[in-house]
Amino acid sequence: MRPVSAQQLEEWAAEARKRWSVPALAVGILQEGAVVSAADGVLELGRPEPVSPDTVFRIASITKPFTATLAMTLVQDRLLALDEPPPGAPVEATVRQLLSHQGGLASEWPQALDGVGNDDDALLRVTEGQPARLPIGPGELFSYCNTGFWFVAAAIARVLGTTFEEAMRTRVLEPLGLQSTGFEAEAPASGHKQVEKGAIEHAPAEKRYPRVRRPGGGLLSSVGDLLRFAEHHLGGPGPLTAESIAEMQRPLSAGPGFRYGLGWFLWETRAGSAVGHPGSVLGYESLLRLVPGERLAVAALSNSSRGYAAIRDVMGDLHLGEEELSEVALENLTAFAGRYRGQEVELEFVPEDGRLRVERTEVDPFSGETSVYPSVRARPIGEREFEIVDGEWRGDRFDFPRPGFVCMSSLATRIE
């Protein structure tokens, strides 16, 4: 990729932010050891304070490669085994399977977390209980799972005799000099959610984030810190050996349009093979993407529940988007038609003019609110894989890995 100036990056970020009515967007690029960053927008709607490249945002599920990095430090010290279940966890899946989303577990905890508390032992107490299980066994299929990371984090705390947060600080954040990264921040950008799915208008997002959820999505950070973390995973100095870094980037499971290693998504992009992770929680959406062959990394942070649409546009400007696949003609779309239900989602697929119309309803794991998404269309790009072509979700992919199942991030099963 050709070098990008700060002015050009700022123009792309501003254009994408305004196109999608996102309150703020911050982007940074690490290329050949140098960082270029830009930001546009405000910390909070209704207030004049602008964001900067140093602004801290919730990074949501970009926390997962941090948790996997922490786990690998224990693997290196022979305190944790990848191919055994986490010590003290009531699950059959191994650490390797849990960190690659193939543990056979539903993504969220089966009971509300309101009464769990936020003390140092909360994570240990919760993970002594039984998670919700999928109708598949460990190692069978990819299904995105937050709770799997909780079990690994709880095992880390048990083995070290400390809290997950303290282990993260001493073993990952401090060795990498990540001073803007942590589970709390004094003045982060405020999260904003759309008043309804697909809407331009925003409202303040809920701020409550249970402590037990932190291993899968609790960190806050800046683009600069994320690029320092990325630099380590591109071979720079830090707590992991080169062998551990390579192990994390080795494909272990696969989903629609990607493979997955230990805490990392693996994509094919226009710039080459990439690793990284997106994030979405409480009115924030984010992306960290590394292209090891180019020693290149990009971090993008937003404070909007539709921020990924703007981030995707900037990635396109940088020619770092996923490879585009041609549409294929499928004769029998009725094989995929019907209603499917997951832990917190209900989907309906209807064949229309060689494509599938997708109806989607979700239940928010924090508020319990039900959200109905606008109808979208999806084009077939493989025998069992589809890509959404409408609105802010354009480019999102889903597949039908076996009869009776659909994977739109997490698995859902056919109900009629």
Domain annotation covers residue 262? yes
293 and 343 fall within a common domain: no
For residue 287, what are the domain limits?
Answer: 1-323
Domain annotation covers residue 389? yes
Confidence of residue 169 (pLDDT cuts 50, 70, 90): very high
Q: How many domains does the chain have?
A: 2
319 and 409 fall within a common domain: no
DSSP secondary structure code for residue 86 in this structure: P
Which H or E run includes 28?
Answer: strand 24-31
Domain annotation covers residue 168? yes
Domain annotation covers residue 390? yes
Instruction: Say what the pLDDT of residue 115 is.
Output: 85
11 and 111 fall within a common domain: yes
DSSP secondary structure code for residue 85 in this structure: P
Confidence of residue 281 (pLDDT cuts 50, 70, 90): very high
Average of per-residue pLDDT across 19-34: 96
162 and 197 fall within a common domain: yes
Q: What are phi and psi of 7, to 5 degrees?
A: -65, -45
Which among 323, 341, 375 is the end of a domain?
A: 323
> How many secondary structure helices (H) and strands (E) does the chain include?
10, 21
309 and 390 fall within a common domain: no
Q: What angle do CA 250, 98, 302 make, to 5 degrees?
A: 80
| pTM for this predicted structure | 0.97
Average of per-residue pLDDT across 205-221: 96
Helices of type H across 77-146 = 95-99, 122-126
18 and 57 fall within a common domain: yes
173-198 b/e with 16+ CB inside 10 Å = b?
A: beebebebbbbebeebbbbbbbeebb
243 and 277 fall within a common domain: yes
260 and 148 fall within a common domain: yes
Mean pLDDT (the chain, rounded): 96
Domain annotation covers residue 328? no
Render pLDDT for 136-145 as a digit per residue (tens, 0 to 9): 999 999 999 9
Instruction: Say what the pLDDT of residue 368 is.
Output: 78
Which among 272, 300, 323 is the end of a domain?
A: 323
**% pLDDT > 90, the chain:** 94
Domain annotation covers residue 239? yes
261 and 282 fall within a common domain: yes
221 and 346 fall within a common domain: no
Long-range Cβ contact pairs of 44-53 (< 8 A, separation 24 or more): 44/189, 44/190, 44/192, 44/204, 44/303, 45/190, 45/192, 45/202, 45/204, 51/24, 51/25, 51/26, 51/189, 51/303, 52/26, 53/26, 53/28, 53/222, 53/223, 53/224
What type of residue is 129? G
Average of per-residue pLDDT across 28-54: 96
DSSP 227-293: HHHHHHHTT-SSSS-HHHHHHHTS--EEETTEEE-SS-EEEEETTEEEEEEEEEETTEEEEEEEEGG
For the domain that residue 245 is a member of, what is the CATH number? 3.40.710.10
- Judged against a pLDDT cut of 90, whether residue 32 lies above it is answered with no
Residue in the block written with tokens 């942590």: 182
Worst-scoring range by mean pLDDT, 117-126, 363-372, 385-394? 363-372
Q: Are 184 and 121 a contacting pair, CB within 8 Å?
A: no
90 and 133 fall within a common domain: yes
Domain annotation covers residue 153? yes
Tokens of 61: 């599920």
Render pLDDT for 318-359 as a digit per residue (tens, 0 to 9): 999 999 999 999 989 999 999 999 999 999 999 999 999 999
Which among 305, 323, 341 is the end of a domain?
A: 323
286 and 353 fall within a common domain: no
